[in-house]
Chain A
Amino acid sequence: MNMILALVLLPALAGIISFFMRKAYAARALMISTAFAHLSLVVWCWHTRPAPFYQGWFALDSLGLLFLSVASFLFFFSTIYRVGSGNAGALVKKRDFEGSSTFIDFSESVYCGCMMLFLSTMTLVCVSLQFGMIWVGVEATTLASAPLIYYHMHKRSLEAAWKYLLICSVGIVIALLGNFFLAVAVSEGGLHSSLVLSSLMNRASLGHINIFWLKGAFLLFIVGYGTKMGLAPMHTWLPDAHSESPSAVSALLSGALLNCSFLGIIRAQQLLNAAGAGQLGRDLLIIFGIFSMAIAAIFILGQNDYKRMLAYSSVEHMGILAVGVGIGGIAVYGSMLHAVNHSLAKAALFFTAGNILTFYRSKSSLEVRGVLRFLPVSGVVWVAGFFAITGSPPFGTFFSEFSILKGMVDQDRIFIAVAYLALLAVVFVGMVGPFFKMAYGNMDQLPAERVNREPILSFIPPVVMMLAVLILGLCIPDALTSLILEAAGELGGLR
Chain B
Amino acid sequence: MKSAIDSILILLVLANLYLLVTSRIRSSIRVVAVQGILLGLIPIFAHSEGELFRAYLISFVSIALKGFLFPFLLNRVLSSTNLRREIEPIVGYTVSVLIGVALFIISLWLASRVPAVGHMHSVLALAVALSTMLIGLFFIVARRKAINQILGYIILENGIFAFGFALDIEAGMIVELGILIDALLAVSVMGLAVYHIHREYDGTDTSLLSALKD
Residues of A within 8 A of B (CB): 57, 130-133, 135-136, 139-140, 142-143, 146-147, 150, 153-156, 158-163, 165-166, 169-170, 173, 176-177, 179-180, 183-185, 187-190, 192, 194-195, 210, 212-213, 239-240, 243-244, 299, 303, 308
A225 to chain B, nearest CB (A): 15
> Which residues of B182-205 are within 8 A (CB) of A?
182, 185-186, 189-190, 193, 196-197, 200-201
Q: Which residues of A contact B140 (CB under 8 A)?
A: 166, 170
The contact of B172 among A132, A154, A189, A240, by CB within 8 Å, is A132
26 residue pairs A–B, Cβ–Cβ below 8 Å: A57-B172, A132-B171, A132-B172, A140-B185, A143-B182, A143-B189, A146-B193, A147-B189, A150-B196, A158-B193, A158-B200, A160-B212, A162-B206, A163-B209, A165-B189, A166-B153, A173-B157, A176-B160, A180-B171, A184-B117, A187-B119, A188-B117, A188-B118, A195-B172, A212-B115, A239-B214
B61 to chain A, nearest CB (A): 15
A150 to B45, CA, bound (A): 43
Q: Which residues of B contact A244 (CB under 8 A)?
A: 212
What's the dominant secondary structure at chain A's contact region? helix
B65 to chain A, nearest CB (A): 15
* A146 contacts B189, C-beta separation under 8 Å: yes
* Contact mask for chain B residues 150-171; partner A; CB cutoff 8 A; 1 contact, 0 none: 0001001100100110010111
A192 to B175, CA, bound (A): 15
A194 to B169, CA, bound (A): 10
- Closest residue on chain A to residue B121 by CB atoms: A184
A270 to chain B, nearest CB (A): 19
Kindly state whether residue B44 has any CB partner on chain A within 8 Å: no
Q: Which residues of A contact B176 (CB under 8 A)?
A: 132
* B171 contacts A183, C-beta separation under 8 Å: yes
Q: Which residues of B contact A131 (CB under 8 A)?
A: 171
- Closest residue on chain B to residue A140 by CB atoms: B182
Given A130-B172, A187-B118, A166 and B179 touching (CB < 8 A)? no
Q: Which residues of B contact A132 (CB under 8 A)?
A: 171-172, 174-176, 178-179
* B117 contacts A180, C-beta separation under 8 Å: no
Q: Which residues of A contact B175 (CB under 8 A)?
A: 130, 132-133, 135-136, 195
- Closest residue on chain B to residue A185 by CB atoms: B117
Given contacts A159-B212, A162-B193, A184-B167, 6 further A-B contacts (CB under 8 A): A140-B185, A165-B186, A166-B190, A179-B171, A195-B172, A303-B214
The contact of A135 among B119, B163, B179, by CB within 8 Å, is B179
B49 to chain A, nearest CB (A): 11
A359 to chain B, nearest CB (A): 23
A131 to B170, CA, bound (A): 12
Q: Which residues of B contact A158 (CB under 8 A)?
A: 193, 196-197, 200, 209
Q: Which residues of A contact B137 (CB under 8 A)?
A: 170
Kindly state whether residue B146 has any CB partner on chain A within 8 Å: yes
* B153 contacts A173, C-beta separation under 8 Å: yes
The contact of A180 among B156, B160, B189, by CB within 8 Å, is B160
A206 to B78, CA, bound (A): 53
Q: Which residues of B contact A159 (CB under 8 A)?
A: 209-212
* B201 contacts A155, C-beta separation under 8 Å: yes
Kindly state whether residue B149 has any CB partner on chain A within 8 Å: yes
B7 to chain A, nearest CB (A): 22
A39 to B80, CA, bound (A): 43
B147 to chain A, nearest CB (A): 12
Number of interface residues of B (CB under 8 A): 44
The contact of B170 among A133, A176, A192, by CB within 8 Å, is A192
B187 to chain A, nearest CB (A): 10
- Closest residue on chain A to residue B150 by CB atoms: A166
The contact of A195 among B114, B171, B186, by CB within 8 Å, is B171
Given A130-B172, A136-B175, A180-B164, A155 and B200 touching (CB < 8 A)? yes
A182 to chain B, nearest CB (A): 9
Given A155-B211, A173-B157, A194 and B118 touching (CB < 8 A)? no
A262 to B169, CA, bound (A): 25
B120 to chain A, nearest CB (A): 5
- Closest residue on chain A to residue B163 by CB atoms: A180
Kindly state whether residue B13 has any CB partner on chain A within 8 Å: no
A185 to B146, CA, bound (A): 36
Q: Which residues of A contact B170 (CB under 8 A)?
A: 183, 192
Q: Which residues of A contact B197 (CB under 8 A)?
A: 158, 162
* Contact mask for chain B residues 106-123; partner A; CB cutoff 8 A; 1 contact, 0 none: 000000001101111000
Q: Which residues of A contact B164 (CB under 8 A)?
A: 180, 183
Kindly state whether residue B133 has any CB partner on chain A within 8 Å: yes
- Closest residue on chain B to residue A244 by CB atoms: B212
Q: Which residues of B contact A57 (CB under 8 A)?
A: 172
Given A143-B189, A146-B189, A159-B209, A136 and B178 touching (CB < 8 A)? yes
B200 to chain A, nearest CB (A): 5
Q: Which residues of B contact A143 (CB under 8 A)?
A: 182, 185-186, 189
A187 to B121, CA, bound (A): 11
* B163 contacts A187, C-beta separation under 8 Å: no
A43 to chain B, nearest CB (A): 29
- Closest residue on chain A to residue B157 by CB atoms: A173
Given A155-B201, A177-B160, A139 and B186 touching (CB < 8 A)? yes
Q: Which residues of A contact B172 (CB under 8 A)?
A: 57, 130, 132, 194-195
| Residue among B163, B189, B212 facing the most chain A CB atoms (10 A cut-off) | B212
- Closest residue on chain B to residue A190 by CB atoms: B118
The contact of A299 among B169, B196, B200, B214, by CB within 8 Å, is B214
Q: Which residues of B contact A240 (CB under 8 A)?
A: 212
A369 to chain B, nearest CB (A): 23
A143 to chain B, nearest CB (A): 5
Given A158-B197, A160-B212, A239-B214, A190 and B119 touching (CB < 8 A)? yes
Q: Which residues of B contact A243 (CB under 8 A)?
A: 212
B149 to chain A, nearest CB (A): 6
* A156 contacts B212, C-beta separation under 8 Å: yes
A114 to chain B, nearest CB (A): 11
B126 to chain A, nearest CB (A): 10
* A170 contacts B167, C-beta separation under 8 Å: no
A404 to B157, CA, bound (A): 38
- Closest residue on chain A to residue B130 by CB atoms: A177
Q: Which residues of B contact A150 (CB under 8 A)?
A: 193, 196
Q: Which residues of B contact A188 (CB under 8 A)?
A: 117-118
The contact of A183 among B169, B200, B214, by CB within 8 Å, is B169
